[in-house]
């Protein structure tokens, strides 16, 4: 207990908050646990985003949740009273489609996931099968049962899927194991996620784990903590990594994402990570700043605005 207490990360002081606001030109925010919990915006977030914009800070929203496309997230932001541009949103559904587009992918994709992935693939002109269309398909395992699969599938994309079933797992397994060169792509490997504000739910890591188990293959991960989205953002802005901050509620994805990219990192305790986990002797990921919640930055609004 003494060791854990001695290594405790204190909440950022007002001086440290001002330091963060002064040094950073672009803030990248995780969404679940930072901007909202389930379908409820965290109190004070709209005012915080308004403050940052008034200081001429760039803001981006990066989420590992692949159930929605960027257009779908636009609707969610608007429903919560948040004014966000489509180009400021980077979802892992978009990252999967952008990754395939970047390598000039021409075959079909089999999707374990929801409409967000399909919509982003459509926007890139990438053919796909599976997804919600396979939600009700069943395997009976009668004697001699044999499942056919599309031999033109060149990639399996696994995203969060509330309707994952054995049919989808088997189909994905066949594509990866039997189609030469078939890629295995994961939108993320999050263990849990905030689908509602009432509790944590099993995340996409559980779906990805099923395919890892059946294929003995590790996926290419396009969401956090992979740097694919970060490279896209930094290249579009022409900023150095030290001019960008990653703000998130997860040590193993958000903060690791920032650390891997050389960014400033700020952990908020309004989502997945608790003070006990942060300060555990077993934790090896240490953020540069710790906030109870994002709107804590409002406590230095007057001083920060004077410095602009």
Q: What is the pLDDT of residues 251-300, one digit of tens each?
A: 999 999 999 999 999 999 999 999 999 999 999 999 999 999 999 999 99
Question: What CATH number labels 105-221?
Answer: 3.40.50.1000
Whether domain 14-64+224-306 has CATH 3.40.50.720: no
Burial group, residue 214, by CB count within 10 angstroms (0-12, 13-18, 19+): middle
Distances (CA, A) of 165 to 80, 130, 136: 32, 12, 8
State pLDDT tens for residues 179-229: 999 999 999 999 988 788 788 899 999 999 999 999 999 999 999 988 888
Task: Report domain extents, the chain.
Answer: 14-64+224-306, 105-221
Helix H or strand E segment including 193: strand 192-193
Q: Are 82 and 41 spatial neighbours (Cβ–Cβ below 8 Å)?
A: yes
- The catalytic site residues sit at 30, 32
Is 32 labeled as ligand-binding? yes
Is 224 labeled as ligand-binding? yes
pLDDT given for residue 227 in this prediction: 87
Q: Are the folds of 14-64+224-306 and 105-221 the same?
A: yes
pLDDT given for residue 193 in this prediction: 85
Interior angle at CA 209, CA 206 and CA 213, nearest 5:
145
Is 50 labeled as ligand-binding? no
State pLDDT tens for residues 100-143: 999 999 999 999 999 999 999 999 999 999 999 999 999 999 99
């Amino acid at each position: 207990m003494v060791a854990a207490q001695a290594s405790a990360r204190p909440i950022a002081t007002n001086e440290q908050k001002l330091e963060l606001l002064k040094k950073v030109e672009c803030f990248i925010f995780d969404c679940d646990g930072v901007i909202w919990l389930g379908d409820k915006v965290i109190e004070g977030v709209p005012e915080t985003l308004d403050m940052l914009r008034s200081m001429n800070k760039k803001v981006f929203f990066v989420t590992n949740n692949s159930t929605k496309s960027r257009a779908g997230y636009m609707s969610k932001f608007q429903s919560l009273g948040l004014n966000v541009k489509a180009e400021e949103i980077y979802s892992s559904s978009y990252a999967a489609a952008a990754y395939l587009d970047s390598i000039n992918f021409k075959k079909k994709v089999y999707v374990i996931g929801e409409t967000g992935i399909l919509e982003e693939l459509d926007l890139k002109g990438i053919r796909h099968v599976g997804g919600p269309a396979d939600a009700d398909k069943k395997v009976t395992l009668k004697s001699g049962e044999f499942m056919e699969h599309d031999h033109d599938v060149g990639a399996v994309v696994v995203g969060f899927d509330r309707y994952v079933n054995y049919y989808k797992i088997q189909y994905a397994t066949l594509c990866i194991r039997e189609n030469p060169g078939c890629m295995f792509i994961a939108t993320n490997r999050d263990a849990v996620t905030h689908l509602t504000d009432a509790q944590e739910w099993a995340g996409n890591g559980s779906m990805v784990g099923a395919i890892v188990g059946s294929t003995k293959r590790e996926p290419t991960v396009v969401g956090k903590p992979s740097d694919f989205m970060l490279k896209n953002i930094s290249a579009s802005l022409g900023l150095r990594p030290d001019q960008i901050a990653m703000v998130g509620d997860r040590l193993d994805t958000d903060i690791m994402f920032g650390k891997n990219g050389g960014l400033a990192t700020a952990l908020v305790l309004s989502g997945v990570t608790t003070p006990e986990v942060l300060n555990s002797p077993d934790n090896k990921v240490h953020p540069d700043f710790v906030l109870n919640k994002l709107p804590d930055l409002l406590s230095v609004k007057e001083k920060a605005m004077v410095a602009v």
